[in-house]
Amino acid sequence: ITRHHDGFSMWDTKYSDFNIMNTPYKKDIVKMMADECRKQGIKLFLYYSILDWRREDYPHETGRTGQFSGRKGHGNYASYLQFMKNQLTELLTNYGEIGGIWFDGHWDQTAPEGEKDRTSRLDWKYDEIYGLIHKLQPQCMIGNNHHLSPLPGEDFQMFEQDLPGENKSGLSFQEASAQIPLEACQTINGSWGFSLTDTSYKSETKLIQTLVKAAALGANLLLNIGPMPNGEIQPEFTERLNKMGDWLKIYGASIYGTNAGYLKPQDWGCITQKSDKLYIHIFKAQPEILLNGFPFKKIQKAYYLKDKKVVNATLKNGSLHIPIAENMNKNDEVIVLEIKK
């Protein structure tokens, strides 16, 4: 996060005194993250809030949350837009290659999710903002957490607290795009930021199966971590992340570099695909999986991903029968099918 709705900038910006360099900490967190990501070979994406509760020029008077900001009068969007352009230029000029910009706050200027008309009360001038980003770094991807169908210039579509095609959060009434990449944005408990009182931690099984379902739908999973005030990650989070890492060490081939399965997630689990391989993800212990209308001609091999043990899968009249061993992984067992298309 470079800047959230409170307007506090986490880098050495020249366009606001309300920044981390004017605190006793006096360290540029964005630079530290950029340096470490480069060292580890990780692409860095930056969150940037276009909603600001502090600045006088943000048009708070038309915003959903502005009425609670304690400010009076009217904003000046031309001034605020230039401020954002200046900050984005800093971020895309001073910190090396940026993988993407993740915008948030558009929803402040619309009717609540689920309303028929969610037209923005503010012309954000996205053509100017997105054009600036792609001019400075053409490869930089742009996503916007506006809870709408993708707008021109956006490179991926995100779903907050939902998988694409679901709307359990009440935020995702939009359809999943078939033209651009998808991303599911989730939390480990119920909060985006650190919360002492939120102990509703998702289980390792829930988190792993969410990762798998996202991959089965062709979506990236963004899993949020809200650090504690001292900058550390709370043990309840590290425990679950380590469990996910342990699972990926064994089953990662069924996630990394895969595409959406030919079949949407089912009660029993889901499917991911890669070239001539299908990965059958089994969430619930059962004697067998039956796939009617199997769209491939032949099964060359069938085996468990964890140990390469052969599975006696049979394909007859377009129906595939897959027997399941009793000692399956409690989170998600994976069977590999090498297929002939």
Is residue 56 a part of any domain in this protein? yes
Specify whether 148 is located in the same domain as 190: yes
Query: Do 201 and 324 belong to one domain?
Result: no
Structure tokens at 227: 């650090």
According to the model, what pLDDT value does residue 244 have? 98
pLDDT of residue 340: 84
Low-confidence ranges of the chain (pLDDT < 70): none
> What is the pLDDT, as a whole number, of residue 245?
98
Query: How much is the pLDDT for 67?
Result: 75
Same domain, yes or no: 206 and 335: no
CB–CB of 120/48 below 8 Å?
no
Specify the pLDDT at position 154.
98
Look at residue 7 and tell me if it is in a domain.
Answer: no
The sign of the CA dihedral 119, 123, 124, 129 is positive
For residues 101 and 68, give the distance between their C-alpha atoms in angstroms, rounded to a whole number. 28
CA distances from 215 to 4, 257, 339 (A): 28, 9, 19
Does residue 9 sit within a domain? no
Pair 250, 291 in one domain: no
Asked if 213 and 163 count as a contact pair (C-beta separation under 8 A), the reply is yes
Looking at the fold, whether 39 and 83 belong to one and the same domain comes out as yes
The verdict on residue 156 lying in a domain is yes
- Total number of domains constituting the chain: 2
Which of 254, 282, 302 is the last residue in one of the domains? 254
Q: Is residue 81 part of a domain?
A: yes
The domain that holds 288 is classified in CATH as 2.60.40.1180
User: Is 96 part of any domain?
Assistant: yes
- Model pTM score: 0.94
Residue ending a domain, among 238, 254, 270, is 254
- The domain that contains 188 carries what CATH number? 3.20.20.80
CA distances from 174 to 64, 162, 163, 164 (A): 20, 11, 12, 9
Tell me, yes or no, whether 211 and 92 share the same domain. yes
**pLDDT tens digit string along 114-166?**
999 999 999 999 999 999 999 999 999 999 999 999 999 999 999 999 999 99
The answer to whether residue 103 is domain-embedded is: yes
Residue at which a domain ends, from 233, 254, 275: 254
- Residues 301, 306, 309, 313: is their CA dihedral positive or negative? negative
Q: Do 219 and 112 share a domain, yes or no? A: yes
Partnered with residue 3 across adjacent β-strands are: 9, 48
Q: What range defines the domain where residue 330 resides?
A: 260-340
